[in-house]
């Protein structure tokens, strides 16, 4: 079932401002009047509509680390907040074999409407959290972005890792996370896998890279966090690694 629409949510807004978690694909909701974008409703349970488990992991990390989380409340199929405004994949017409009828005829006016309705308010909420950190601590926050990925995509070979660390310029934070996680013998860690962290215009580029704020994006394989128990377990597992990665700051 499609969730009730909200553009964004800030969890624990009074938490430690020195760390900010963002979750771009927390929700599979669409605004009123858009329904399922012409897709069967069960398509919105798939990874094409959201990052399965990422919301629960983010909420648990907020509690464990006592930090704010800004999360989207709209589906990436409606508009993807982890893309630049001029990115051709901002509004997807085809995703992992699914044609999205409601996106087929999206023109410039409709794109602008969706930007104003969802994308820009979400980014404004992240900007507000960063501004709060600057006002209260004299500096911008360290930023972690939480995502999830599929074990396999479009018939390609199975991905061998449970967690991926994505990064751009901040080699220190990424390196600390990679070293720390690799110390756990039962984990295989992706280094800028399953995607590359250098994507000009994406959420971390807009909010962290351009400001030179310490940051990293953490991808967790979604079959590991599809249940509440899995989300709690992985948040508990990730929390000390995140704390350790930023202990230098």
Average pLDDT, whole number, for the chain?
94
What integer pLDDT is reported at residue 153 of this predicted model? 67
pTM (predicted TM-score):
0.95
First-to-last C-alpha distance (Å) of the chain: 42
pLDDT given at position 155:
66
Res 3 pLDDT > 70: no
Under 8 Å between Cβ of 190 and 216: no
Which residue matches tokens 């709690």?
Answer: 232
Locate the domains of the chain by residue range: 8-245
Q: What is the pLDDT of residues 110-131, one digit of tens each?
A: 999 999 999 999 999 999 999 9
- How high is the pLDDT of residue 1? 38
For 204, the enclosing helix (H) or strand (E) is helix 203-204
CA distance 217 to 120: 21
52-81 pLDDT, tens per residue? 999 999 999 999 999 999 999 999 999 999
Q: What CATH superfamily classification does 8-245 receive?
A: Zn-dependent exopeptidases (3.40.630.40)
The Cα 71–Cα 6 span in angstroms is 10
Rounded mean pLDDT, 29-34: 94
- Would you list the DSSP string of 96-145? TTEE-GGGTT--HHHHHHHIIIIIHHHHHHHHHHHHHHHHHHSSPPEEEE
**pLDDT tens, residue by residue, 35-48:** 999 999 999 999 99
The per-residue pLDDT for 248 is 55
pLDDT in tens, 171-222: 999 999 999 999 999 999 999 999 899 999 999 999 999 999 999 999 999 9
Helix orientation angle between 228-245 and 54-65, rounded to the nearest 10 degrees: 50
pLDDT band at 2 (very low <50, low <70, confident <90, very high): very low
């Amino acid at each position: 079932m499609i969730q009730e629409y909200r553009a964004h949510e800030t969890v624990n807004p009074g938490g430690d401002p020195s760390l900010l978690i963002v979750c771009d694909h927390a929700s599979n909701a669409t605004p009123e009047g858009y329904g399922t974008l012409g897709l069967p409703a069960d398509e919105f349970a798939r990874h094409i509509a959201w990052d399965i488990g990422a919301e629960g992991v983010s909420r648990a990390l907020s509690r464990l680390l006592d930090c704010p989380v800004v999360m989207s409340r709209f589906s990436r199929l409606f508009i993807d907040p982890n893309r630049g405004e001029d990115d051709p994949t901002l509004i997807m017409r085809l995703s992992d074999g699914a044609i999205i009828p409601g996106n087929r005829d999206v023109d410039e006016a409709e794109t602008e409407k969706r930007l104003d309705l969802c994308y820009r308010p979400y980014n404004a909420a992240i900007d507000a959290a960063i501004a709060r950190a600057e006002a209260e601590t004299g500096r911008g926050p360290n930023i972690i972005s939480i995502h999830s990925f599929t074990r396999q995509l479009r018939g390609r070979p199975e991905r061998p890792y449970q967690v991926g660390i994505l990064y751009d310029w901040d080699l220190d934070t990424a390196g600390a996370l990679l070293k720390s996680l690799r110390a756990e013998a039962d984990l295989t860690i992706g280094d800028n896998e399953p995607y590359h962290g250098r994507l000009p215009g994406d959420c971390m580029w807009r909010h962290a890279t351009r400001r030179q704020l310490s940051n990293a994006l953490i991808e967790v394989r979604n079959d590991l966090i599809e249940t509440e128990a899995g989300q709690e377990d992985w948040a508990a597992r990730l929390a000390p690694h995140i704390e350790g990665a930023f202990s230098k700051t």
